[in-house]
């Protein structure tokens, strides 16, 4: 019931000068970061370090450069994991504050708002906890057309009495899974999550990066060529996947 497997990368302090703007979604108490423009909106679901941890906003700014409007809702309402060790008990207690129905409600509010402003289609990207949140939203049949998850932590489904396979069995949205070497086998090519999507005729692509650790996308050391290679390949796969399905 932890989000990060042993050997995962630690917290990274954000240093990127963000290009977008923060505001509160009209009619709600939900803070949002918005960058880019266009009729295709990508909602980003962050890791447990919150909406401005590590390279989260850099990743969203970079994706916006591809022609998307990218939105980071602050599902945690200002909270984030601190410097405490990543252990199942404390992590489970922390994420239990943000149950599936609250994530679905916030996501629906984002979709409704931007649809009223002219958005036509919605996609999703997520890291770690964010991948579980994406699957929860897709399982609830929200109008998300495609989703990409980096080092997904679907094991968090256990916090809410489910399992990765049970949660996945309710998903019909095309998924791209890009796990790290120390991530669970079920989200890697040939794993149970991937097989469940395939058995249900859901478009799925999966590529694992055995030479990098969980957290590589927003927190990996960019002085390490292997991390750079993984991040660049994951970005290319994200763009390609959205070109197909978004």
Q: Residue 88's pLDDT is what?
A: 86
**What ranges do the domains of the chain cover?**
21-245
CA 54 – CA 57 distance, rounded (Å): 8
Tell me the three state secondary structure of residue 120.
coil
pLDDT of residue 61: 98
Nearest to 195 by CA among 176, 168, 173: 168
Distance CA 154, CA 94 (A): 16
Given a contact cutoff of 8 angstroms between Cβ atoms, the answer to whether 146 and 115 are in contact is no
First to last CA, the chain: 31
Q: What is the pLDDT of residues 22-79, one digit of tens each?
A: 999 999 999 999 999 999 999 999 999 999 999 999 999 999 999 999 999 999 999 9
Residues of the chain with pLDDT under 50: none
Q: What is the pLDDT of residue 2?
A: 74
Q: 202 — alpha (psi -120 to 50), left (phi > 0) or beta?
A: beta
Q: Which CATH architecture has domain 21-245?
A: 3-Layer(aba) Sandwich (3.40)
| Pairwise CA distance, residues 232 & 222, whole Å | 11
- The pLDDT score that the predictor gives to residue 1 is 59
């Amino acid at each position: 019931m932890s989000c990060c497997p042993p050997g995962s990368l630690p917290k990274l302090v954000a240093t990127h000068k963000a290009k977008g703007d923060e505001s509160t979604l009209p009619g709600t108490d939900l803070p949002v970061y918005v960058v880019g423009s266009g009729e295709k909106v990508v909602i980003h679901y962050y890791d447990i370090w919150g909406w401005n941890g590590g390279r989260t906003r850099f990743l969203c700014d970079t994706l916006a450069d591809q022609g998307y409007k990218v939105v980071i809702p602050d599902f945690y309402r200002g909270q984030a994991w601190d410097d405490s060790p990543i252990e199942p008990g404390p992590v489970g207690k922390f994420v239990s504050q943000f149950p599936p129905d609250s994530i679905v409600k916030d996501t629906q509010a984002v979709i409704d708002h931007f649809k009223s402003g002219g958005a036509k289609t919605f996609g999703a990207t997520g890291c770690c906890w964010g991948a579980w949140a994406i699957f929860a939203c897709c399982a609830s049949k929200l109008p998300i057309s495609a989703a990409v998850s980096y080092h997904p932590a679907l094991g968090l489904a256990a916090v809410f009495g489910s399992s990765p396979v049970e949660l996945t069995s309710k998903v019909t949205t095309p998924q791209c899974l890009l796990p790290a070497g120390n991530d669970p086998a079920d989200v890697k090519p040939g794993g149970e999550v991937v097989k469940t999507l395939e058995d249900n005729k859901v478009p799925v692509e999966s590529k694992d990066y055995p030479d990098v650790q969980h957290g590589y996308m927003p927190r990996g050391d960019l002085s390490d060529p292997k991390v750079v290679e993984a991040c660049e390949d994951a970005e290319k796969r994200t763009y390609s996947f959205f070109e197909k399905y978004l």
